[in-house]
Amino acid sequence: MVRKRIFPVTRIHEPLSIEVEIKNGAVTDAWCSSMLYRGFEQMMYNRDPRDAIWFTQRICGICSSAHAIAACYALQDAYGVTATPNGVLLQNIIFGADIIQNHLRHLYVLVMPDYVEGPDIPPFNPKPAIDYRLPKQINDQLMKHYWEAAELSARAHQLIAIFGAKAPHQQAIYPTGVSVAPDAGKIKAAQAIQQDLYDFAANKVQEDFEIIAHYYPEYLKIGRGYGNLMSFGMFPHPDNSELQIKGGLYLDSNKKVEKLNPKYIRESVAAAWYREPVSGGKPLKETTIPQNNKPDAYSWTKAPRYQDQPVESGPLARWWINGKYRRGISAMDRLLARAFELKYVCEKVGQWLEQLRPGQPSIQPYETKKEGLGVGLTDAMRGALGHWMEIHEGRIKHYQIITPTAWNLSPRDEKNRRGPAEEALIGTPVENVKSAHEIGRVIRSFDPCLACAVHLIETDKNRRGSLVT
Amino acid sequence: MLTRREFLKLCAAGASVSLVSVLLPDLALAAKSGAIDKLPVIWIELGSCTGDSISLANTMDPSQKKLFSEIIDLRYHWLHMAAQDGQSVKALEDTVQRDKNRYILVIEGSVVTADQGKYNYILQKNGSLKTGIDMLKYLAEHARWVMPVGSCATWGGPAAAYPNPAGCKGVAEVIHRPVINVPGCPAHPDWTVGTLYHLINYGEPELDSAYRPKIFFGRTVHDRCTRRQYFENGIFARNPGEESCMYLLGCKGPVTYADCPVRQWNDHVNWPVEASSPCIGCTSPEFPDGMMPYFKHLPDIRLHGATAAPDRLAKALGIGTAVGLGTHLAGNIFTGRIGKNLISGTKPKASIVTKKTYPAKELEDKVDALLEKFDNLEQELTHARQKSRNKKGLIAKAKQLLGKDSGEETD
């Protein structure tokens, strides 16, 4: 038996260390540790609630608009306001374009070097000891698409900038809409970009990953995990605010899509470097203090659970629950579902652009409230994202965020059950213990983002003192 | 190859063409002809959100492909490199050994200092975990230039917002050597690439007192705002989304040094004020605490008429210029006021708190005196610079002539 630690796992966002136990050439146990703690929610305490949209998006530079959208929904909930039809469409367009950007960068820039051999220059050098299996011609073709995708992801950010001022970290989303009025010129400019993105997504991405799946077929079996899937749903309809991608829960034990109730969400800190809270880990009450020397703890990520179950979220979960992708659950299926979603979102952004009504308001003035509770739930690039907010005397009293990566890369809970990604690693064959690239492939299929996953909130005013000790 | 003067002119112009698109082909040509080496770059991420890497990847023309294959040798960047674990760490170590005092160290994200940096490990070496702060100190020691990119790396930024649970700091506060700061949340790709270009070809660019290149951060956003005329005419927006001046909605443009209005974002598509949202001052050392609440406007300090106030306030902050004790003091007065007015509710950073308050008249006199002193100093500095520039110009010209001669011979 060998025990090995992989750190840093590259081509993901922020530091992740993975420890695995390997027996007879396969993984028998795994531990995912996130290695960065910044304490973002703690900073939210006592700030103007309206600042939450532009402040919380600074948690993450690759999915910034997801946090902006979730914070915006929480504010809408707390203030009791809704966005105008144009506002909803523009928020969807900004969010959708960011998802396109993220998926392109994930599939090509982050994942592809695991299967496709890059040119002889850094950052593709030094070359990992990988069993590259693609014939040279196909390899070159996919590498060409790699560079194309890198350029197109920047174009997707341009689409955000048209309506959102800039990207990353847009600066135009408000609780009642978006501050940029859509005129014919802006819509045309956005449509030109959307057309390029759609062409690439429809004609190349799915095919590219079918090719990779063809040459690396074992990854359609490797990396399954629990098979528990969850989604909050996303993209409200401008007229009736019904979600265009539905939310739900699919448990491996009963193999049925069920309705989701956020009140069953709870976070465990059994294996996280935080002191045990008294509230039982409910997002609206959770109180947590970092505790660096805690025995048995090994990560800065907490372990969210739904009805005490570890669940996976992300594009595969979304499309499984919506019944559009049911090929299987594995590392490769996660990539294929993502490629499928890319095309869907490109198409949707095109429809929303057409639905925009120039001359109609994209935003309207609103009244703030001194007291209130707000919950903002939406699926994001990597899965289910929730912002919980309590407003007291016009300021934020409590803020809690549970991110997709917290769900997917969570550590063990008090019942010592592994997180979904840890479970997915079990059984992964490892040929060369030194490079262990198979583990990287499984982990990257989740598109982990540790910048998002790590945070805590504590409303006790003396918390700083306890932190230093 | 552009001369330095041409380069500076380009940077100042900002508008119409992308800086990156003009510079990089030039740089690639130089690299190809062997005039300069492809620069080894080590890019480390500490307490970051990856936003600055993503922003750099948003460079449109030339593409990311050109950047990697022709311009720089990106030896270590955990977002892009094919290798992982031990192999990636070896690539880092090899660069330090082989290219000592030659590589550029780019840092993204703030330095996590709480609990001896144990809140942020970034890699393992020979089986032991290394904290971000330890690796930063080690890598900075052998780097030719240290370039923090983004507001977190430059001065703590959002990661260091009160109560700063992880003890986040800017790079310059932690290492004992000069840095070239490229702030922004995120840093604009033009700022990052333009500064790199200057480093490769002309050495260190002229910096302000906050170590920012003046070519990009020399003037306020307000100075060149595309909606300046609304301000002059006193037409102020009352709600976001209205097409007029954003000042009363909390715009921090008057105290923020950046060229967003002329450079614009994502290859000249848009920028916050043109999107009818206030500037939030993301390139300022006080960002974000000193710039929040985002929607509360700057304190109205009446000096000589409404237009003068924000301009002078900005000047007095002294961030944009490298001179003078006097401005520094004035800066304190004003930042103190800003701190009080804007941070109500959160405790401001220690460095921007002044308890002393000045009555209006006294303050006005003091500021006037200081500004006068400041103007004199600035004039002196300009003269001195001109003198030295003349000398440098002659040397450069001589070099250029020599270079041309040899070039013709080879032809």
CB-CB contact of A148 with B31 (8 Å): no
**What is the pLDDT at residue B361?**
60
Asked if residue B401 belongs to a domain, the reply is no
What is the arithmetic mean of pLDDT over A338-357? Answer: 98
Residues B313 and B235 in one domain: yes
B260/B270 Cα distance (integer angstroms):
9
Q: How confident is the model at residue A139 (pLDDT cuts 50, 70, 90)?
A: very high
A289/A460 Cα distance (integer angstroms):
10
Taking every pair of Cα atoms in chain A, the longest distance, rounded to a whole number of angstroms, is 68
A-B CB pairs within 8 A amount to 285
Name the token pair of A408.
Answer: 């997917």
CB-CB contact of A356 with A185 (8 Å): no
**What is the pLDDT at residue A288?**
59
**Of the partner residues B49, B59, B82, the one whose CB lies closest to the CB of residue A118:** B82
Asked if residue B258 belongs to a domain, the reply is yes
Please name every residue paired with B135 in a beta bridge, in sequence order, or none if there are none. Answer: none
Asked if residue B223 belongs to a domain, the reply is yes
B260/B344 Cα distance (integer angstroms):
28
Q: How confident is the model at residue A286 (pLDDT cuts 50, 70, 90)?
A: confident
**Which residue range forms the structural domain that includes residue A69?**
2-468
Measure B312 CA to nearest chain A CA, in Å: 27
Phi, psi dihedrals of residue A105, rounded to the nearest 5°: -70, -40
Sign of CA dihedral A446, A447, A451, A452: negative
Q: What is the CA radius of gyration of chain A?
A: 22
Sheet holding B104-108, edge to edge: B72-76, B39-45, B104-108, B145-149
CB contact under 8 A, A166 and B265: yes
Query: For residue A381, which of A330, A351, A341, A323 has the smallest C-alpha distance?
Result: A341
Residues B254 and B203 in one domain: no
* List of chain B residues whose C-beta atoms are within 8 Å of the C-beta of residue A166: 265-266, 270-272
Name the token pair of B204.
Answer: 């260190």
**What is the pLDDT at residue A11?**
95
Residues B190 and B158 in one domain: yes
Measure A16 CA to nearest chain B CA, in Å: 8
What is the arithmetic mean of pLDDT over A269-295? Answer: 78
Dump pLDDT digits (tens) for A107-134.
Answer: 999 999 999 999 999 999 999 999 999 9
A421/A405 Cα distance (integer angstroms):
10
A92/A88 Cα distance (integer angstroms):
6
**Residue matched to tokens 């950073």:** B349
Residues B178 and B117 in one domain: yes
Neighbours of A167 (CB within 10 A): 31
Helix (H) or strand (E) holding B383: helix B360-410
**Of the partner residues A12, A38, A179, the one whose CB lies closest to the CB of residue B159:** A38
* List of chain B residues whose C-beta atoms are within 8 Å of the C-beta of residue A109: 57, 79-80
Residue A136: partners with Cβ closer than 8 Å, 6 or more residues away:
none
Query: For residue B211, which of B283, B139, B270, B125 has the smallest C-alpha distance?
Result: B283
What is the arithmetic mean of pLDDT over A182-188? Answer: 96
A302/A42 Cα distance (integer angstroms):
15
Low-confidence ranges of chain B (pLDDT < 50): 15-16, 301-358, 406-411
Asked if residue B402 belongs to a domain, the reply is no
**Of the partner residues A123, A155, A435, the one whose CB lies closest to the CB of residue B74:** A123
CB contact under 8 A, B165 and A39: yes
Residues B226 and B292 in one domain: yes
CB contact under 8 A, B292 and A48: yes
CB contact under 8 A, A122 and B74: yes
Residues B261 and B286 in one domain: yes
Asked if residue B92 belongs to a domain, the reply is yes
**What is the pLDDT at residue B323?**
29
Name the token pair of B22.
Answer: 């003009």
CB contact under 8 A, A43 and B163: yes
B295/A contact by beta carbon, under 8 A: yes
Locate the DSSP E strands across A129-233. Answer: 173-174, 177-178, 229-231
The domain boundary, picked from B155, B182, B216, lies at: B216
The domain boundary, picked from B161, B192, B216, lies at: B216
**What is the pLDDT at residue B268?**
92
Residues B133 and B262 in one domain: no
The domain boundary, picked from B216, B238, B261, lies at: B216
Residues B120 and B231 in one domain: no
**What is the pLDDT at residue A290?**
78
Helix (H) or strand (E) holding A236: strand A234-236
A461/B64 Cα distance (integer angstroms):
46
> Which CATH number covers residue B237?
4.10.480.10
Residues B206 and B340 in one domain: no
Asked if residue B202 belongs to a domain, the reply is yes
**What is the pLDDT at residue B13?**
62
Query: For residue A349, which of A198, A157, A168, A172 has the smallest C-alpha distance?
Result: A198
The pLDDT of residue A270 is above 50: yes
Query: For residue B158, which of B58, B252, B47 has the smallest C-alpha distance?
Result: B47
The pLDDT of residue A462 is above 60: no
**What is the pLDDT at residue B194?**
87
CB contact under 8 A, B165 and A161: no
Asked if residue B388 belongs to a domain, the reply is no
Asked if residue B389 belongs to a domain, the reply is no
**What is the pLDDT at residue B36?**
59
**What is the pLDDT at residue A294?**
85
Query: For residue A151, which of A191, A97, A105 has the smallest C-alpha distance?
Result: A105
Residues B151 and B264 in one domain: no
A414/A270 Cα distance (integer angstroms):
5
> Which CATH number covers residue A339?
1.10.645.10
Residues B106 and B13 in one domain: yes
B157/B170 Cα distance (integer angstroms):
8
Residues B282 and B293 in one domain: yes
> Which CATH number covers residue B155?
3.40.50.700
Q: What is the DSSP string of B265-324?
A: BTTTTB-GGGGT-----TTSTTTTGGG-STTSPPP---SSSTTHHHHHHHHHHTTT----
Q: What is the DSSP string of B15-40?
A: SSS-HHHHHHHHHHHHHHHTSSPPEE
| pTM, rounded to two decimals | 0.86
**Which residue range forms the structural domain that includes residue B318?**
218-381
**What is the pLDDT at residue B82?**
95
> Minimal Cα distance from A449: which residue of B?
B49
Q: How confident is the model at residue A397 (pLDDT cuts 50, 70, 90)?
A: very high
B220/B257 Cα distance (integer angstroms):
4
> How many structural domains comprise chain B?
2
> How many structural domains comprise chain A?
1
Dihedral angle at the C-alpha atoms of A113, A116, A121, A122, nearest 10 degrees?
A: 10
